[in-house]
Amino acid sequence: MLEVVMALALVTMLVVMIGAILARRRGMGGGGANLEQGSLYITGVSPLPEMTGEHFVTITGTLTGPSVTGKVVYRRFVWDAAQWPSIGDQLVVAYPPNNPDKWVAQHPGLR
């Protein structure tokens, strides 16, 4: 019985290690150490909701950074309606250099 438990534990650890290696290769791991900082010029945004509180917003814009020049990207977030973004705003963003489509914004309205 103990052999079965030990074998199961070893297989589980092996699967977790392989998953971590694959995630790092795809740019999803690494704890943010390899992220680049850039800016996003907002060219499109969902309409401001009439109610206050948190709502979904879709943002479209042009991402510019050290390894990216003028890439059009979009993303959906939960955002505070009191600090709703608008066309023409500039956001500070971070993104993996090998996949700028996985950008994340830094803004007080972002939830």
pLDDT in tens, 44-99: 999 988 888 899 999 999 999 998 888 999 999 898 999 999 999 999 999 998 88
2 falls in which pLDDT band (50, 70, 90)?
Answer: confident
Residues present in the chain in total: 111
| CB contact at 8 A, 104 and 69 | no
Tokens of 54: 């948190």
Between the alpha carbon of residue 66 and those of residues 20, 25, 27, 34, 56, the distances in Å are 27, 21, 17, 13, 29
